[in-house]
Amino acid sequence: MKRVVVAGGGYGGLRAVERMANVEGVELTLVDANGFHFMQTEVYGYIAGTKDLDEIAVDLKLWCSGFNKPVTFIQSPVFGLDPDKRVLKLQNGELSYDYLIIATGARTRFPDSVEGLREHSFGIKRLDRAFGFRHKFEEEIKRKLEGESERVNIAVVGAGLSGVEVAAEMGYMLKRYRNLLGEHSKEIEVVLFDACDTILPGMDATIVASAERRLKELGVTVKTSALIKRVEKEFIYFEDGEMWGYSFMIFTGGIVGNSEFVPETFEKNGIGQIKVDSHLQIEGYEEIFAIGDVSEIHGTKGEILPPTAQVAERSAEYCALAIKKSLEGKRAEPFRGSFQGMFIALGGRFGAAELFGFRFSGIAAYIMKRIVTFIYFLGIDLRANTGFKIRNLKKV
């Protein structure tokens, strides 16, 4: 039996386990610092209150019990990796492997150059931070309902995919609450800031334009070319001398790979992503793969692929195949990934999509995003429930 360890139970890690579970002669272990899979792609809805906790998180132990063969789940942070001894360092000791898939993702990167940013803002790549932000949002709505007339300024800093989705969903919810809050609804403003001169930098101009239109329709103020210098408890100070009072702030400006536990000899880029070769392996260690957000993955044209769930899953599928081939004494062809497109949720039943070169927006894009999410969640949920049934049958 060969021991395959997957470190990280996110989009990439789960897909890797799923694909490896069908491979003969393999003993599978999944390790994660948390006991749940956090569906970050749906967090915009959770923050604004349109989705609940059970729609964005899944118990990993339960999920692992849904396979026909045993898949061990260990809840522990990975603290270290000794690639020569082939062991991972966990909370309660060491875990040996024959093959290792590093899928520990990324976290929000708060630039050190912006004083006070980390201290005063919420990130959304962690469930506890998203939870805190949602409750802050609900608290403000409740205060307004009780007649509180103080202005509430919600700052969303970073107008990439996640910032735009969160700002749009909050704008939509505030619009929905108009009848509930009456005149008080005008006292809550959502402002989306970005240092670039556009929202969704790097995305197609038609997608940017439809997102801008939708944000305007939802009453979200957009401020681009807004470079933040420092943040204090109630004020954001910009490089150009402007300042802006805020009630609470969410920061979605960038990511850094969760790769602190790998040896210094592993090459990384400027945002802590592990550099992998064309087989998604670490140079000198053919048995170690790094996938998803924690790695810098190149596409077929040599371009760096964006950190998305889609890339995490494709790279995971590739790893499973590469390990299977290796067990057969063969070597897989190099990874051939490309960016196939993206759905953006733009508040309520509205979205924008860029898919295989086609661009569209409105309810069709929203429905397609919902279908993709539904299929993903159904797969996860069925696995967890099958596990439940198997355990119950065993008890009988």
Residue numbers at the binding site for ligand FAD (CB under 6 A) = 7-13, 31-34, 38, 40-41, 43-44, 77-78, 103-105, 124-125, 161-162, 165, 258, 261, 292-294, 307-310, 312, 343
Q: Which is nearer to ligand FAD, 239 or 303 (CB)?
A: 303
CA–CA separation, 103 and 154 (whole Å): 33
Q: Which is nearer to ligand FAD, 230 or 341 (CB)?
A: 341
Cβ atoms of 310 and 292 within 8 Å: the answer is: no
Q: Which is nearer to ligand FAD, 9 or 253 (CB)?
A: 9
Shortest distance (Å) from residue 106 CB to ligand FAD:
6
- Phi/psi at 228 (nearest 5 deg)? -80, 135
Shortest distance (Å) from residue 362 CB to ligand FAD:
17
CA–CA separation, 138 and 158 (whole Å): 22
Contacts of 100 (CB under 8 A, 6+ apart): 4, 5, 7, 81, 86, 88, 287, 288, 289
Helices (H), the chain: 11-20, 43-48, 60-64, 117-120, 127-145, 161-176, 178-181, 205-217, 309-327, 363-395
CA–CA separation, 273 and 26 (whole Å): 28
Shortest distance (Å) from residue 92 CB to ligand FAD:
13
Helix, strand, coil percentages, rounded to 5, for the chain: 35, 25, 35
Q: Which is nearer to ligand FAD, 9 or 144 (CB)?
A: 9
Q: Which is nearer to ligand FAD, 7 or 195 (CB)?
A: 7
Q: Which is nearer to ligand FAD, 195 or 250 (CB)?
A: 250
- Containing H/E element for 342? strand 341-345
Shortest distance (Å) from residue 294 CB to ligand FAD:
6
Shortest distance (Å) from residue 392 CB to ligand FAD:
27
CA–CA separation, 286 and 331 (whole Å): 10
Structure tokens at 96: 């040996």
Residue nearest to ligand FAD (CB): 10
Q: Which is nearer to ligand FAD, 33 or 87 (CB)?
A: 33
CA–CA separation, 10 and 376 (whole Å): 13
Shortest distance (Å) from residue 374 CB to ligand FAD:
14
CA–CA separation, 285 and 287 (whole Å): 5
Q: Which is nearer to ligand FAD, 191 or 319 (CB)?
A: 319
CA–CA separation, 228 and 241 (whole Å): 10
In this structure, what is the dihedral angle of CA atoms 317, 321, 324, 330, given to the nearest 10 degrees? -160
| Residue 223 DSSP SS3 | strand
Shortest distance (Å) from residue 330 CB to ligand FAD:
26
Shortest distance (Å) from residue 15 CB to ligand FAD:
8
Q: Which is nearer to ligand FAD, 43 or 174 (CB)?
A: 43
Shortest distance (Å) from residue 234 CB to ligand FAD:
25
Q: Which is nearer to ligand FAD, 13 or 347 (CB)?
A: 13
Q: Is the dihedral of CA 151, 155, 159, 163 positive or negative?
A: negative
Shortest distance (Å) from residue 305 CB to ligand FAD:
10
